[in-house]
Amino acid sequence: MSRGGIAGRTRVKTAKGRKVGSTRWLERQLNDPYVKKAKAEGYRSRAAYKLLELDERFGFLKGARRVVDLGIAPGGWAQVVRKVCPKAHVVGIDLLPVDPIEGVTITQMDFMADEAPAWLIEALQGPADIVLSDMAANTVGHPQTDHLRTMGLVEAGMDFACQVLRPGGHFVAKVLAGGADNDLVAALKRNFTNVKHAKPPASRKDSSEWYVIASGFKGRADEAAPDEDEN
């Protein structure tokens, strides 16, 4: 590793056996202020600041008691929820293993597995205030295919959110360039009073990711509204 360039930017020498792409990724990580900040403040990933910035703009975390975190690994979003809402019960799921987080119930499982929704609902123990989704499908290098695969996860996340959210609840999900497609936007607008797109400052400029923030869940027409007597 060497230091050089402008303003003390850290540069990484290409080691034997290390691909150029890996060297560029490592160099970007070492020079990313959000990576440094996350390390200093105890967050597991720089993604924590994306959620913090989205919440600063849209204010959906305050007062949350039950939160679902779809695609929880490595746990940065769950850490933010617990910091902003210390009494919140968070339930998370991911294909990857996640180290324990106080106040968070975690399972290693594919969200698309048949048994996943039932597990999440049982662990949640009541209607959710927020469903968060930072899920993205593994890329195959074909932009259209990658987009469709990730949007399929977003649609599944929205369907699940409509099963578990209390009236007035929120759904926040990662989408790709162009945001949610027309059919998904229409479905979100049928179920939520406000639907917005945003790209938080912590999201890298060269990333195709955006976020959709759907607020004010209208409730399920086929059943009575959940009891909200709890304080």
The active-site residue, picked from 87, 174, 189, 218, is 174
Contacts of 81 by beta carbon, 8 Å cutoff, 6+ apart: 51, 61, 64, 67, 69, 88, 90, 130, 132
Residue 70 region by backbone torsions, left for phi larger than 0, else alpha for psi between -120 and 50, else beta: beta
Q: Is 69 helix (H, G, I), strand (E, B) or coil?
A: strand
Angle, helix 47-58 to helix 76-84, in steps of 10 degrees: 40
Peptide bond into 74 cis (omega under 30): yes
| CA atoms of 87 and 108, how far apart (whole Å) | 23
Name the amino acid, one letter, at 189.
Answer: K
Exposed / middle / buried, residue 15 (Cβ in 10 Å: 0-12, 13-18, 19+):
exposed
Contacts of 46 by beta carbon, 8 Å cutoff, 6+ apart: 32, 34, 35, 37, 38, 76, 202
Q: What is the CA radius of gyration of the chain?
A: 19
* Residue 174 is among the residues annotated as catalytic for this protein: yes
Task: Please give the positions annotated as active site.
Answer: 174
